Amino acid sequence: MEKENDIHLICKTITKMKKVFIFLTAIWGYSANAQQIIEKNVSSKIKQVRVFLTQAEINNVAQVSVGAGTSTLVFEELPAKLQQQSLQVNAKGAITIMAVKHRINYLKSQAKTDKIKKLEQDLETLQDALNSLQVQKKIYQEEEAMILANKQVGGDQTGVSAQKLKEIADFYRQRLGEVNQKVLELNKQIKQNQEKEQQTRRQINEENAQANKPSSEVLVTVKADAPVTANFELSYIVPDAGWQPIYDIRSKDTKSSAQLMYRANVYQNTGLDWNNVQISLSSGNPSVGGNKPELVVWYVSQFVGASYGYSNMRSADARRTEAVAQRAIKPVDVERGIELEDKPSETIADFTTVQENTLATEFEIALPYTIPSDGKPQLVDVQKFDMTTIYSYGSAPKLDRDAFLTARLVDWEKYNLVSGKANVYFEGAFVGETYLNARNTKDTLVVSLGRDKKVIIEREQIKDLTTKKKLSSHIKEEFAFEIRIRNTKKEKIVIRLEDQIPISNNSKIEVELLEATGAKADPVSGKLTWKLEVNPSETKTLKLRYSIRYPKDMQVTY
């Protein structure tokens, strides 16, 4: 009986051991499978960049050989400020994407750039030159010490002739002078080289700090039934990039259409250079929310002043009003501008393709560009237009006696312009800067082309007709002016000339326009406008007369 119990106990123990063995085998197998999921570093290349006004969307591509089973591909050296919520990963091939993760790598050192290698070579050259100067200085110092150590002349009992003494003194003076002068020159060169060495070291440290910044990594876990080569595409948005429009408006003369050169200042400081990539410019701005703000209830109620002893208490209406105010819409950022020097016109603008979307316009630049990651704007040509132009002159000789030429650009809205600065050129000369406001609701854009000294304008007071009369109870003053316009150009001009009379804001003061033949008068503003055609070598004369009548006991100012 005891033997049977022992056998039964042994069998039971063996059964438990089998279960433990099976369990451990399962764990070992699971661990083995888990260890088989290895990470493979992948380098990708920037293929295309869509630059928004304040951000950029980057597309990286890579071709990767994937083994059978489950593996994790680590796409490394991506911008550190990659916006994780914008990340998209696509793959073409017989694989399945299981998971996508993002992480920051703070430890990996970047490879030395060509600039750092060049700086290190310069530093080594400076150090060699500095060592050579130090050796030369030491030789001269030892020579000086040797001369000074042997300066005793003659023995204790033996004298030296005057001639010999003079020769020895001349030698000491000449040679020591040469040695000391050479040491001074070497000290100066050593100081200059030391300063250059320090500057080069600081520059190397700065470049290394830039090169060793943290970078992003995207971990893509994939599964393949068999070894396969797959094409991957990563798309993501980064800050620290954008573009601003800048225009060149060129007009050969008043008989030619104005040419508008549409350019863009593209900048980026993402940490990676965009080398020879396809660029498109979008007038969209993903950083600005696209949802329409909603109005909330706006309460108005009787104001209740604070009672003594209860100054810190507020009414329920006041609390509701404050709660509404706290839900106010946040302001958005405005666009910035960069002043740049004008550069020669390029032909790349002829390759630009324009796509008009519902909410934005996109310019696809056909030729590739290189934009370094230094935050400095790079000029990119977008498009070139010959615009329908109407030229006219304007002047307000009361304030400035020059004639100003203006160009009215017609049908500007069909060119998909974005508000920005413009450089203006007329007759081959730089006129100045202006601002194109694309939010203008008018059908024409007015651009000033500057002063034209060939249109001469004079405005003088006619003293004989300028009087001041005292009446029984009033004083009446009369003013008269003569305006002359002379056209010394070879072609006819059209000029819009403006002047004004004062407007009374007191019923006791009366203003009367006596003479302004051909002028259009605005009774609200007092502005007078003449539109004149002046032929070559022609002079036209205008007269302006008005009066002011007021009580004699009143002092007026105008």
Both 204 and 217 in a single domain?
Answer: no
521 pairs with which residues across the strands?
A: 528
CA 354 – CA 364 distance, rounded (Å): 6
Please tell me the predicted confidence (pLDDT) of residue 527. Answer: 95
- The mean pLDDT value for 293-299 works out to 82
- pLDDT beyond 60 at 31: no
Both 20 and 79 in a single domain?
Answer: no
Q: Please provide the average confidence, as pLDDT, over all residues in the chain.
A: 80
What's the longest Cα–Cα distance across the chain? 154
6-20, 323-337, 431-445: which range is least confident on average? 323-337
Both 289 and 404 in a single domain?
Answer: yes
Both 88 and 234 in a single domain?
Answer: yes
- Close Cβ partners of 404 (under 8 Å, ≥ 6 residues apart): 393, 394, 395, 448, 449, 450, 451, 452
CA 123 – CA 126 distance, rounded (Å): 5
Looking at 450, 479, 513, which one is the last position of a domain?
A: 450
Q: Is residue 468 part of a domain?
A: yes
pLDDT tens per residue, range 115-149 = 778 888 888 888 888 888 888 888 888 877 877 77
Both 356 and 469 in a single domain?
Answer: no
Half-sphere exposure of 336 (CA within 13 A, CB side): 10
- pLDDT beyond 60 at 275: yes
Which bin fits 119, alpha (ψ -120 to 50), beta or left (φ > 0)?
alpha
Query: Hey, what are 403's tokens?
Result: 């004639």
Please tell me the predicted confidence (pLDDT) of residue 110. Answer: 60
- The mean pLDDT value for 453-467 works out to 93
- CA 54 from chain centre, in angstroms, equals 9
Q: Please check whether residue 329 is in contact with residue 288, taking contact to mean a CB–CB distance below 8 angstroms.
A: no
* Count of C-beta atoms within a 10 Å radius of residue 416: 18
- CA 76 from chain centre, in angstroms, equals 28
What are the CB-based long-range contacts (under 8 Å, 24+) for 27-35?
Answer: none
- Close Cβ partners of 50 (under 8 Å, ≥ 6 residues apart): 56, 57, 279, 280, 281, 282, 362
Both 427 and 473 in a single domain?
Answer: no
pTM of this structure: 0.59
Q: What is the DSSP letter of 342?
A: -
Q: Is residue 58 part of a domain?
A: yes
CA-angle at 344, arms to 339 and 350, nearest 5°: 105
CA 541 – CA 319 distance, rounded (Å): 69
Count each helix (H run) and each strand (E run) in the chain, helices first. Answer: 4, 26
Query: Hey, what are 477's tokens?
Result: 């003053």
Both 404 and 363 in a single domain?
Answer: yes
Q: Please check whether residue 321 is in contact with residue 299, taking contact to mean a CB–CB distance below 8 angstroms.
A: yes
| Enclosing H/E stretch for 449 | strand 444-461
Q: Please check whether residue 206 is in contact with residue 115, taking contact to mean a CB–CB distance below 8 angstroms.
A: no
pLDDT tens per residue, range 261-274 = 999 999 999 988 89
Both 530 and 392 in a single domain?
Answer: no
Query: Which has more confidence, 287 or 478?
Result: 478
Q: Is residue 184 part of a domain?
A: yes
Query: Hey, what are 398's tokens?
Result: 């009361």
Q: Please check whether residue 69 is in contact with residue 224, taking contact to mean a CB–CB distance below 8 angstroms.
A: yes
Q: Is 538 helix (H, G, I), strand (E, B) or coil?
A: coil
Please tell me the predicted confidence (pLDDT) of residue 417. Answer: 83
Both 102 and 131 in a single domain?
Answer: no
Query: Hey, what are 227's tokens?
Result: 């070894």
512 pairs with which residues across the strands?
A: 547
Please tell me the predicted confidence (pLDDT) of residue 352. Answer: 60
- Close Cβ partners of 198 (under 8 Å, ≥ 6 residues apart): none
Would you say how long the chain is, in residues?
A: 558
Please tell me the predicted confidence (pLDDT) of residue 322. Answer: 43
Both 338 and 252 in a single domain?
Answer: yes
Q: What is the domain count for the chain?
A: 5
Half-sphere exposure of 42 (CA within 13 A, CB side): 28
Looking at 416, 450, 484, which one is the last position of a domain?
A: 450
pLDDT tens per residue, range 237-263 = 999 999 999 999 998 888 888 999 999
Both 105 and 118 in a single domain?
Answer: no
Residue with tokens 């994780």: 84
CA 332 – CA 288 distance, rounded (Å): 7
Q: Where does 150-277 have alpha helices with state H?
A: 162-211
Q: Is residue 455 part of a domain?
A: no
pLDDT tier at 360, thresholds 50, 70, 90: low
Radius of gyration in angstroms for the set of CA atoms belonging to the chain, rounded to a whole number: 43
Start-to-end CA distance of the chain, whole Å, equals 134
Q: Is residue 418 part of a domain?
A: yes
Q: Is residue 324 part of a domain?
A: no
Domain of 131 in residue numbering reads as 114-211
89-93, 142-146, 247-251, 306-310: which range is least confident on average? 306-310
Q: Is residue 272 part of a domain?
A: yes
pLDDT tens per residue, range 148-203 = 776 665 555 555 666 776 777 777 778 778 888 888 888 888 888 888 888 888 88
Q: Is residue 318 part of a domain?
A: no
CA-angle at 528, arms to 522 and 534, nearest 5°: 140
pLDDT tier at 15, thresholds 50, 70, 90: low
Please tell me the predicted confidence (pLDDT) of residue 324. Answer: 37
Residue with tokens 């070559």: 536
How large is the angle between the packed helices 162-211 and 114-149, nearest 10 degrees? 160
Both 203 and 227 in a single domain?
Answer: no
- CA 32 from chain centre, in angstroms, equals 53
- pLDDT beyond 60 at 3: no
- pLDDT beyond 50 at 361: yes
